[in-house]
Amino acid sequence: MLNSYEIMMLEEYTEQFNKEDRQKEYDLAAARIEKGEPVAYILGKQYFYNMYFKVTRDTLIPRPDTEHLVDMAIKRIPQNGKFADLCTGSGCIALTILYNRPDLCAAALDISEKALAVANENAEIWNLTDRFSAICSDILSDEPLSDEFDAVISNPPYITSDAMKDFPSLVYEPKIALDCGDDGMIFYRHFINTLTGHMKKSAVMILEIGYDQSERILKLCNSQGLSCELHRDFGGNIRVAVISCNGFTRSE
């Protein structure tokens, strides 16, 4: 049984077809959804932060909780700054920030060339190509970021391999964008232990984190003498960590 959102989206989707084909296309798409395929992949787009973004099976589907990450970045990145969006996927995070902050420029990094191709298409859709650079990079093994950035933003893979088994619907999305091994902390350890040492002293790092990872994030930050603010999502879970070089703090 489709929910009201899926019905609304399918009705919008079928408007592109001739009247004679609409019901057939609706039924085909509905059958795919009932088998578990996300409606965003059928439509080829997902709404996010009052915008929409092209998505494919090479990109993660943007979630509402990630809007908190964007909110924080819009507020915290310095005027006329440049930021890096690590694990950019569809580019939705960087492009939403740029759309709402015309003074900023972004470098969007991802290991997947196919995902970056989608990100570039989204930049063209929103006329942001002049302030958006897509870069193919293995963030965990390539040279650390230079100190040119005023902020580092990321929604990296953070679901453990065991937890992935509890979410069968995620099989449709790219595993590389979700699965983060035994403890889900690989990227966070690299970001906090390595990348922060190559950032400007005035720079800020803003990360989306898993609901059960905040204590480990705080411990990592404390070990590096970093400040860490924690912020909750719509469901009341701690979802965003704001990290800077101002010494240890905690807020929720």
- Please provide the DSSP assignment of 109-177 as one string: EES-HHHHHHHHHHHHHTT-GGGEEEEE--TTTSPPPPTT-SEEEE----B-HHHHTT-GGGGGS-GGG
For residue 229, the SS3 value is strand
Q: How far is CA 3 from CA 7, 8, 234, in A?
A: 6, 9, 21
Q: Where are the domains of the chain?
A: 4-54, 64-244
May I ask the CATH class of domain 64-244?
alpha beta
- What pLDDT shows up at residue 3? 86
Q: How far is CA 106 from CA 4, 97, 160, 236, 247, in A?
A: 36, 9, 29, 30, 27
Per-residue tokens: 244: 């800077």
- What pLDDT shows up at residue 251? 52
- What pLDDT shows up at residue 2? 81
CA distance 115 to 91: 8
| pLDDT, tens only, 9-66 | 888 888 888 888 889 888 888 899 888 899 999 999 999 999 999 999 999 999 999 9
Is 99:35 a contact under the CB 8 Å cutoff?
no
105: left (phi over 0), alpha (psi -120 to 50) or beta: beta
**Would the pLDDT of 137 be above 90?**
yes
Over range 200-206, report the average pLDDT.
Answer: 91
Is 139:116 a contact under the CB 8 Å cutoff?
no
% of the chain with per-residue pLDDT over 70: 96
pTM value > 0.75 = yes
Number of continuous H segments (helices) and E segments (strands) in the chain: 9, 9
Q: Please, which pLDDT band fits residue 69 given cuts at 50, 70 and 90?
A: very high
**Would the pLDDT of 248 be above 50?**
no
- What pLDDT shows up at residue 136? 95
